[in-house]
Amino acid sequence: MIVITTPTGRIGQQVLDNVLDALDDSTVLRVIARDPARLTARARERAEVFQGSHADPEVLGAALAGADQVFWLVPPAPGADSVEGHFRDFTLPLCEVIAGQGPERVVAVSSLGRGVAKNAGQISASLAMDDRIAATGVHYRALCPPFLMENLLGQAKALRSTGEFRMAYAADRVLRTCATADIAREAARLLLDDSWTGRADVPLVGPDDLTPEGMAKVLSDVLGRPVRVLETTPEEYRASALRFGASEDGARGLADMASAMATQGFYGAAEPSTADTAPTSFRRWCEEILRPATLA
C-alpha cells in the first residue's frame, strides 16, 4: 500500500500522477487531501481518499494503517506562527504512527544543506524533520533539491510587465536549481520500489551552473525580450514576505534562509549536479513551464 500526502500540491500532484501511470491493479493507493474536490477524476476513481490534514493524528493514523510506503511533504505555511513549530506539528504525529504501526518506508521532500546549513529558517526546519523521522528506525529517503525553479513562477507577472525578477542572492554567484518534476519522478520511483533500506539523502541537482545573471540571459532568449535580475537583501526579502501575509517568524525564516544560502554555499557551485536524478535544464523548464505562465 502506498500513501501520498499533499496530492493536490505542486509536487504531490505530480508524484500522484507518476504513481498512477505505473501502478498495478493489486496495489492499494491512498491519499490524504484537505479538499478532495481538487483531485483529478482519475485520482478519485483509483485512490482511497482520506479527507483532512496529515498533521491530524487521527486522519494520519487511519490513512497509514497497513501502509508500506509513504510520500511525505510538509506544506509551506508562511503565515504560521513558528517555522519550527509548523514542521514539528506535522512531523511528530507521523513519528507516533511509525512507532505504533509502521509504515516500512518514508520518502520525504527535504533540502540540500545537511551538515552545512545553520540558522537557515525553513531549510533548518526541514533537515530537523529528517532527523526526527529517521530516528524512528523507518527506512527513509530524503529528497534534497536546491533552489526550486518553480519559485520563479511567483514572478511571472513582473517578468511580463517589467522584464525583471528579484533574487535575495548574489547575481554573479552560481545557484544550483531543480525542477519539481524531477523531484516527483524520483519520489514515484522510490515509492514503487520495495527493495531499498536504511537512511539516505538523495541529492536532486539540475545540470546547470548558472548564476542569476545567467538565468536572466536564458530568460531573455526564451521570452524574446530583455530580462534582468534585481539583487535584493535578506531584509528586503523579509519585508516583502510580510507584505504578502507572512507571519513575523515566517518572514524571518525566509530571510534567514536567504542569508544562509548566500554565506554557507550549500546551494552553490561546490554542489555537483546529479543528472541521473535531476535531468531537467533551466532552459527546458523555462520553455515548458515559465514561458506559458508568463505569456498567459
What CATH number is associated with residue 19? 3.40.50.720
In a domain, 59, yes or no: yes
Which pLDDT value is given to residue 267? 97
In a domain, 275, yes or no: no
In a domain, 233, yes or no: no
Count of domains for the chain: 1
Which pLDDT value is given to residue 21? 97
Model confidence at 101: pLDDT above 90: no
Q: Which domain holds residue 194?
A: 2-145+179-203
Integer-rounded Cα Rg, in Å, for the chain is 19
In a domain, 285, yes or no: no
Model confidence at 19: pLDDT above 90: yes
- pLDDT, the chain, mean: 97
Checking phi first, is residue 228 left (phi over 0); if not, alpha (psi -120 to 50) or beta?
Answer: beta
Give the pLDDT confidence of 249-268 residue by residue, as tens digits.
Answer: 999 999 999 999 999 999 99
Q: Taking the complete model, does pTM exceed 0.95, yes or no?
A: yes
Which pLDDT value is given to residue 102? 83
Starting at the edge strand found earlier in the chain, the sheet holding 139-144 runs 48-51, 29-33, 2-5, 69-72, 105-109, 139-144, 199-203
In a domain, 215, yes or no: no
In a domain, 118, yes or no: yes
Give the pLDDT confidence of 176-198 residue by residue, as tens digits.
Answer: 999 999 999 999 999 999 999 99
* Cα 292 off chain centre by: 22
End-to-end CA distance of the chain: 39
Model confidence at 200: pLDDT above 90: yes
Spell out the residues 6+ positions from residue 291 whose beta carbon is closer than 8 angstroms to its own: 222, 223
Closest by Cα among 174, 202, 206, 189 to 278: 206
In a domain, 43, yes or no: yes
Give dist(CA 207, CA 268) in Å, integer.
13
In a domain, 90, yes or no: yes
Q: What percent of the chain has pLDDT over 90?
A: 98
